[in-house]
A and B are shown apart, each in its own frame.
Chain A
Amino acid sequence: EIVLTQSPGTLSLSPGERATLSCRASQSVSSSYLAWYQQKPGQAPRLLIYGASSRATGIPDRFSGSGSGTDFTLTISRLEPEDFAVYYCQQYGSSPPGVTFGGGTKVEIK
């Protein structure tokens, strides 16, 4: 089973700053099966990025995803007040079939 490790656990930044979130896999992951989600308190997760780098419908272009193999990155170019939240990476694996999530990175206001 592939394990996803997200770092850092918490990122303290100010609005307008750049956020760089890491997701490292214990084995190589197909880019097609790597996604990122945003979750705010009391809300369901929202899809941000799929296929490692494709933005979901309605997601602002300040959000971007990159990476391949075992190292993936979510970048928020300039933090807006509404971007302070918890972010999760997720992968689908076929051997055995199943889904795993990273432990999450909390982006908090500094």
Chain B
Amino acid sequence: EVQLVESGGVVVQPGGSLRLSCAASGFTFDDYAMHWVRQAPGKGLEWVSLISWDGGSTYYADSVKGRFTISRDNSKNSLYLQMNSLRAEDTALYYCAKDAIGGYSYTHFDYWGQGTLVTVSS
């Protein structure tokens, strides 16, 4: 059974930093690209970032480029999101999601975690 379990969400002050983690199990982690997707309270889904299966390619939404860094440790079946210079508008539930297609193809998300809540507030 595929499982994605996010952690690390807390209340942080504007300008602060935070690292989210996602522990993956039930599939061959290093075969698939992984994504972070966020959802502000009462709002829709917003894609944040993706990382290729080997970590060699990373892409970001314009809203987080230069502030967030996605990474992975395939030896630990784990995905990370380092979040710096946090703003109030980064407040959201952050989901990690597995890309459905292996290799360097990116299409859609077949599994999602339950999310971890990040609140940016003074």
Point out residues on A near B: beta carbons under 8 Å: 1, 32-33, 35, 37, 39, 44-47, 50-51, 56, 88, 90, 92, 96-104
Contacts and interface: CB of A to CB of B under 8 A. Distances in A.
Given A44-B115, A103-B44, A98 B108 contact: no
B120 to A, nearest CB: 21
5 contacts: A35-B107, A37-B45, A97-B106, A101-B44, A102-B44
Contacts of B91: none
A36 B13 CA distance: 35
A56 B110 contact: yes
A100 B44 CA distance: 11
A98 B112 contact: no
A35 B60 CA distance: 20
Interface residues of B, number: 23
Interface string B69-102: 0000000000000000000000000010000100
A106 B20 CA distance: 30
Given A97-B59, A100-B47, A101-B47, A47 B108 contact: yes
Interface of A is mostly: strand
With a 10 A CB-CB cut-off, give which of A44, A92, A96, A103 has the most chain B CB atoms. A44
Interface in B38-72: 44-47, 50, 57, 59-62
Given A44-B115, A88-B45, A98-B61, A32 B110 contact: no
B5 to A, nearest CB: 12
Contacts of B44: 88, 101-104
Given A32-B107, A45-B45, A99-B37, 17 more contacts: A1-B62, A33-B107, A37-B45, A37-B109, A45-B112, A50-B100, A50-B107, A50-B110, A90-B109, A97-B50, A97-B57, A97-B106, A98-B60, A99-B50, A99-B106, A100-B47, A104-B45
